[in-house]
Amino acid sequence: MLQIVSLCITIPVLAVLCWTDCKYRRLPNLYTLGLAVLGLVWRLAFGGLAGLLDGILGGLVCALFLLIPFLMKGAGGGDVKMIAAAGIFTGFRYCVAEMLFVSLTGLFLGLGMLVFGRVRSSRLKHWLRTLFDWRYDRKEGAEKIPDKSDERERVPFGVAIALGTVFTLVYALYVETPA
């Protein structure tokens, strides 16, 4: 029952975050941090101190999931805050499912955008060659990459986080509902 209410609380905020990420490639702090605070209040109100600590731990684990891409400038700070807020709602118990669903939806979103020409593959090619081709000139390759301000260079990962969160909450509802 709590997952249904969690879905009702999160879906409107996640929809706004998806819209702003698709339109402006930004995830405003007002919504990401607001969702996190709302999740903490929700956890404290219906789970007590144990629920609050579970939410904080889930948020931290999910934020750590995007730490390496963030440090490599592959993910933005808004993405990290948004997945932390989602982790607060899903909690530690479902944070692995959250990361799995977010990864899969991000993969399918990125592939779909590549197929339909909504995103360029130059940055992906550069990263893959940097990782796997020891002869590749990283400095020269980095100069050929278009500027990050170009909309066709970035996948709106907030959409993947939002869909992954909804899938996780539905999964949690399914797991906890007796047959």
Write the DSSP assignment of 44-113 as a string of letters: HHHHHHHHHHHHHHHHHHHHHHTHHHHHTTSS-HHHHHHHHHHHHHHTGGGHHHHHHHHHHHHHHHHHHH
Nearest in space to 161 (alpha carbons), one of 91, 92, 75 = 75
Contact at 8 Å (CB) between 113 and 155? yes
Most confident of 21-25, 97-101, 119-123: 97-101
For 62-83, write each residue's pLDDT tens digit.
999 999 889 987 788 999 999 9
9/156 Cα distance (integer angstroms): 22
| DSSP state for residue 121 in the 8-state scheme | S
The per-residue pLDDT for range 112-166, each reduced to its tens digit, is: 998 888 887 777 777 788 888 888 887 887 787 777 666 556 789 999 999 999 9
The span from the CA of 132 to the CA of 135, in Å, is: 9
Question: Do 120 and 146 contact (CB within 8 A), yes or no?
Answer: yes
Q: Let me know if 45 is exposed, middle or buried by CB neighbors in 10 A (0-12, 13-18, 19+).
A: exposed
Q: Can you tell me the distance from the alpha carbon of 156 to that of 11, in angstroms, rounded to the nearest whole number?
A: 17
Q: Which two tokens stand for residue 170?
A: 């539905």
